[in-house]
Structure 1
Amino acid sequence: MESSIKKTDGQPLLSDRLTETPVRRRQFLQYAGAGAAAALVAWGCKKDNPGPDMGGKGFYFGSGDIAILNYAYALEQLEAAFYTEVISNPYGSISDWERALMMDIRDHEIAHREFFKAALGQHAIDSLAFDFSAVDFSSRGSVLATARTFEDLGVSAYNGAGWLIQDVNYLALAGKIVSVEARHAALVRDLIDNGSFANDEVVDANGLDLSNSPTVVLEAAGPFIKSKIDVTDLPTY
Structure 2
Amino acid sequence: MYAAEEQAKGKPASVPRFSASRRNFLLKTGGISFASALVLAASGCTDNDAPNGGSLTPPNTTAIDLGSGDTGILNYAYALEQLEAAFYTQVIATPYSGISDAEKALLTDIRDHEVAHREFFKTALGSKAIVALKVNFSSINFSDRTSVLGTAKAFEDLGVSAYNGAGHLISSPDYLTLAGKIVSVEARHAAYIRDLITPGSFSSNVDSNGLDISAAPTDVLKTAQTFLTSKLDGSHLPS
> If the length of structure 1 is used for normalisation, what is the TM-score?
0.80
Q: Please tell me whether residue 210 in structure 1 is matched to residue 206 in structure 2.
A: no
2:65: which partner in 1? Answer: 60
2:177 to 172, 178, 192: 172
Which residue in the other structure is 2:149 paired with? 144
| 1:4 paired residue number | none
Residue type of the partner of 1:78? Answer: L
Alpha-carbon RMSD across the aligned residues, in angstroms, is 2.4
Aligned length: 205
Query: Of the candidates 160, 166, 170, which is equivalent to residue 165 of structure 2?
Result: 160
Deviation track 1:36-61 (CA, whole Å, cap 9, x = no partner) reads 56543333xx6989xxxx97042111
Match in the other structure for 1:221: 224
Query: In structure 2, which of residues 122, 139, 146 is the aligned counterpart of residue 134 of structure 1?
Result: 139
1:232 is aligned to: 235
1:71 aligns with 2:53: no
Asked whether the 8 Å contact 1:32–1:173 carries over to 2, the reply is no
Q: Secondary structure of the residue that 1:181 maps to in structure 2?
A: helix
**Paired position in structure 1 for 2:7:** none
1:135-169 per-residue CA deviation (whole Å, 9 max, x = no partner) reads 00010000000000000010000000001000010
- After the TM superposition, which residues 195-206 of structure 1 pair with which residues of structure 2 at under 5 Å, given as runs? 195-199=200-204, 202-206=205-209
How many Å separate the matches in 2 of 1:146 and 1:37?
30
SS at match of 1:226: coil
Contact 2:18 2:116 in 1 (8 A): no
AA matched with 1:120: L
1:32: Cα distance to partner? 4.7
1:107 matches 2:112: yes
Higher RCO structure, 1 or 2 (CA under 8 Å, sep 6+): 2
In the TM superposition, residue 92 of structure 1 has moved relative to its aligned partner by 1.5
The residue that corresponds to 1:22 in the other structure is none
**Is structure 2 residue 84 aligned with structure 1 residue 82?**
no
1:178-233 per-position Cα deviation (integer Å, ceiling 9, x unaligned): 0000000000000000111112xx20011110100001111111110110222120
Residues 103 and 59 of structure 1: CA distance in aligned 2, closer, same or farther (over 3 Å):
same
User: What amino acid sits opposite 1:85 in the alignment?
Assistant: Q
TM-score, normalization by structure 2: 0.79
Q: Distance in 1 between matches of 2:18 and 2:78?
A: 24
Check conservation: 2:136, 2:229, Cα contact below 8 A: yes
Q: Say yes or no: does 1:14 pair with 2:19.
A: yes
Letter aligned with residue 234 of structure 1: L
Aligned pair 1:187/2:189, yes or no? no
Q: Structure 1 pair 136/205, CA: closer, same or farther in 2 (3 Å)?
A: same
Q: Deviations over 1:68-101 (max 9, x none)?
A: 0000000000000000000111112101111101
Alpha-carbon distance in structure 2 between the residues aligned to 1:114 and 1:88: 19
Q: What are the equivalent positions in structure 2 for 1:17-28 lying under 5 Å apart?
A: none
- Which runs of no fewer than 5 residues in structure 1 stay unpaired? 1-11, 16-26
Q: Which runs of 4+ in 1 moved over 6 A?
A: none
Could you tell me which residue of structure 2 aligns to residue 5 of structure 1? none
Instruction: Give the 3 Å change call, closer, same or farther, for CA 41–218 of structure 1 in structure 2.
Output: closer
**AA paired with 1:90?**
P
Distance 1:94 1:39, change over 3 A: closer
| Amino acid in the other structure paired with 2:141 | D
